[in-house]
């Protein structure tokens, strides 16, 4: 089987994972490219004794964490693609299970740790998330049931929903009334308008972390154009939403602290 056949189906989802880890499309995609370049140079970098998806993610994390690959030095990224590793291993563990859907056993294999060590990382992530500062959230969603589910989940995490918008125009008006600290946005809205356009309108006025919700994430994870950094797949699970909200706010708080320090 060709390397394309082995890893092709998993590539869009590795992009999602990489972007969630880095908080940036450009940085996340740069690490994915580095992983692919490693495979082109040496196919033996991909383990054959475990499932190809596990091996693909494991190779990616070995590059992300700067570990040697098969005794060789890790690949070096261009200066503008390098990233200070802001996402600790506890959050790597949490994202692998909550967003990527790995079992704890498989996620431990991906991370190269034993089960007890992995459980300790998950426990640590839970403590970090519990300490996270609450914020105000705008929901852009045209399906009432999904909007209600999102509102309940967000409020269950300790956040406050400022408004629920069904269209691009409603979203812009909602932001004019109250600026949120986080936006959850569907892609296709009730009047045929786009959640992407609504978010672009919002981001034209101020910076806010955004999480997109779509039933077809692979369509937005090609790496060929500007795309969302944080993505939730419909139908979503509560733990997935919790993980992605936590990660989006994690990077937003990091940025705020850097600005304050400056």
CATH number of the domain at 199, please.
3.40.50.2300
More confident residue, 70 or 46: 46
Q: Is the same domain home to 99 and 36?
A: yes
CATH assignment of the domain containing 7: 1.20.140.160
More confident residue, 76 or 25: 25
Q: What is the rounded average pLDDT of the residues 36-47? A: 92
Domain boundary among 128, 162, 189: 128
What pLDDT is stored for residue 134 in this prediction? 84
The answer, yes or no, to whether residue 113 has pLDDT greater than 60, is yes
Contact call for residues 125 and 90 (beta carbons, < 8 A): yes
- E strands present in the chain: 136-140, 160-165, 182-186, 210-214, 230-233
Contact call for residues 123 and 138 (beta carbons, < 8 A): no
Query: Which value, to the nearest 10 degrees, does the dihedral of the CA atoms of residues 139, 226, 254, 27 take?
Result: 140
The answer, yes or no, to whether residue 77 has pLDDT greater than 60, is no
The answer, yes or no, to whether residue 255 has pLDDT greater than 70, is no
Residues present in the chain in total: 262
Q: Which domain holds residue 67?
A: 3-128
What pLDDT is stored for residue 27 in this prediction? 84
What pLDDT is stored for residue 259 in this prediction? 34
Query: Picking from 120-129, 183-192, 248-257, which range would have the lowest pLDDT averaged per residue?
Result: 248-257
Cα three-residue angle 9-222-146, rounded to 5 degrees = 85
Our count of domains for the chain comes to 2
pTM above 0.75, yes or no: no
Confidence of residue 256 (pLDDT cuts 50, 70, 90): very low
Half-sphere exposure of 24 (CA within 13 A, CB side): 15
Confidence of residue 150 (pLDDT cuts 50, 70, 90): very high
Q: What is the rounded average pLDDT of the residues 203-226? A: 76
Contact call for residues 189 and 140 (beta carbons, < 8 A): yes
Confidence of residue 117 (pLDDT cuts 50, 70, 90): very high
């Amino acid at each position: 089987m060709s390397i394309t056949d082995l890893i092709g189906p998993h590539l869009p989802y590795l992009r999602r994972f990489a972007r969630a880890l880095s908080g940036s499309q450009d940085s996340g995609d740069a690490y994915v490219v580095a992983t692919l370049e490693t495979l082109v140079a040496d196919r033996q970098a991909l383990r054959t004794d475990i499932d190809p998806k596990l091996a693909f993610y494991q190779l990616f994390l070995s590059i992300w964490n700067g570990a040697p690959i098969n005794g060789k030095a890790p690949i070096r990224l261009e200066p503008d693609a390098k990233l200070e590793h802001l996402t600790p291993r506890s959050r790597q563990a949490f994202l692998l299970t909550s967003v990527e859907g790995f079992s704890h056993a498989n996620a431990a294999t991906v991370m190269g740790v034993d089960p007890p060590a992995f459980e300790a990382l998950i426990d640590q992530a839970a403590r970090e998330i519990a300490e996270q500062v609450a914020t105000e959230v705008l929901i852009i969603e045209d399906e009432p049931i999904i909007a209600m589910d999102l509102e309940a989940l967000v409020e269950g995490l300790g956040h406050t929903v400022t408004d629920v918008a069904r269209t691009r125009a409603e979203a812009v008006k909602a932001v004019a009334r109250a600026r949120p600290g986080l936006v959850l946005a569907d892609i296709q809205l009730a009047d045929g308008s786009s959640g992407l356009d609504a978010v672009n309108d919002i981001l034209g006025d101020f910076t806010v972390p955004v999480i997109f919700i779509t039933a077809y994430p692979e369509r937005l994870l090609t790496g060929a154009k500007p795309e969302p950094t944080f993505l939730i797949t419909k139908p979503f699970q509560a733990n997935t939403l919790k993980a992605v909200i936590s990660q989006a706010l994690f990077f937003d708080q990091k940025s705020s602290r850097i600005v304050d320090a400056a």
